[in-house]
Amino acid sequence: MTSHLRLLTAGLAVAIALLGSTVVLTRASAAPAVAARATSPPSVYTGATSGGSIATPAPPQDLLNALGATSAEVTTTSVAHLSQRASANGIVSLVTDISQGWVGAVTTSGTILAAQYRPVAAVPDAGTPGARTETTGVTGLLAIARARQVEITDVSGTPPLVPGTPGGGSSSGGWTQVALFGAPLVLLLMLIVLMRFRRGGTGGGDSMSSISSHGKIRSTSKVAPSQTRFADVAGVDEAVEELRETVAFLKEPERFAGAGARMPRGVILYGPPGTGKTMLASAVSGEAGVPYYSLSGSEFVESLVGVGASRVRDLFVKARKNTSGAVIFIDEIDAVGRKRGSLGGGNDERETTLNQLLVELDGFSPRDRIVIIAATNRVELLDDALTRPGRFDRHIQVSLPAERGRRAILAVHSANKRFADNADLGHIASITAGFSGADLAKLLNEAAIMSVRGGRPAITNEDLAEGMLRVVAGPERKDRALAAGDRERIAWHEAGHALAADLCPTHPKVQRMTILARGMAAGLALFGDTDSAMLSPQELHERMIVALAGRAAEQVHFGTISSGAANDLEQVNRLARQAVERLGFAPQVGQIVTSVGEMPLTLAESTRREIDLAVGAMVDAAYAEALTLLDEHGAQLDRLANAVLEHEQLDREALSEALWEIQHPGKRRVPAQVKALPTDRTVSPVATPADPAPASETPDRDLPRGRRPRRAHDHRQRPAVAAVLAARTITASAASLIPALARPKSRRSATG
Helix pair angle (605-632, 634-647), 10° resolution: 80
- Enzyme catalytic residues: 494
pLDDT value at residue 34: 38
Number of neighbours of residue 511 by Cβ within 10 angstroms: 23
How does pLDDT run across 238-265, given as a tens digit for each residue? 999 999 988 988 888 888 877 877 777 8
CATH number for domain 215-399, candidates 3.40.50.300, 3.10.105.10, 3.40.50.2300, 3.40.50.2000: 3.40.50.300
Let me know how many helices (H) and strands (E) the chain has, helices first: 25, 18
How does pLDDT run across 401-430, given as a tens digit for each residue? 988 999 999 999 999 999 998 889 998 998
Residue type, 542: E
Question: What CATH code would you report for 400-475?
Answer: 1.10.8.60
Quick check: 682 and 591 in contact, CB under 8 A?
Answer: no
Q: Which residues of the chain have pLDDT under 50?
A: 1, 22-54, 120-132, 162-174, 200-212, 679-725, 729, 732-752
pLDDT value at residue 354: 85
Residue type, 91: I
CA separation for the pair 471, 447 (Å, rounded)? 10
| Contacting residues for 431 by C-beta, under 8 A, at least 6 apart | 508, 511, 528, 529
Give the CA angle between residues 629, 635, 639 to the nearest 5°: 115
CA separation for the pair 144, 118 (Å, rounded)? 20
Number of neighbours of residue 240 by Cβ within 10 angstroms: 21
User: What kind of architecture, by CATH, is found in domain 38-169?
Assistant: 2-Layer Sandwich (3.30)
What residue segments make up the domains of the chain, in order of their start? 3-22+175-213, 38-169, 215-399, 400-475
What phi, psi does 275 have (nearest 5°)?
-95, -5
Does this model's pTM top 0.85? My answer is no
CA separation for the pair 241, 524 (Å, rounded)? 40
pLDDT value at residue 196: 60
Give the CA angle between residues 663, 669, 673 to the nearest 5°: 120
How does pLDDT run across 707-742, given as a tens digit for each residue? 444 433 343 333 444 444 455 545 544 444 444 444
Quick check: 349 and 303 in contact, CB under 8 A?
Answer: yes
Quick check: 580 and 590 in contact, CB under 8 A?
Answer: no
pLDDT value at residue 717: 38
Quick check: 97 and 154 in contact, CB under 8 A?
Answer: yes
pLDDT value at residue 665: 67
pLDDT value at residue 577: 94
pLDDT value at residue 148: 77
CA separation for the pair 490, 666 (Å, rounded)? 30
CA separation for the pair 302, 199 (Å, rounded)? 10
What's the Cα-to-Cα distance from 114 to each of 38, 40, 135, 338, rounded to whole Å?
Answer: 19, 19, 15, 83
DSSP 535-549: --HHHHHHHHHHHHH
Edge-to-edge strand order for the sheet containing 510-514?
524-527, 510-514, 649-651
pLDDT value at residue 256: 80
pLDDT value at residue 478: 78
pLDDT value at residue 10: 60
What's the Cα-to-Cα distance from 297 to each of 332, 346, 543, 607, 621, rounded to whole Å?
Answer: 5, 19, 39, 42, 48
Rounded to 10 degrees, what is the CA torsion of 254, 255, 261, 266? -70
Beta bridge partners of 104: 95, 114
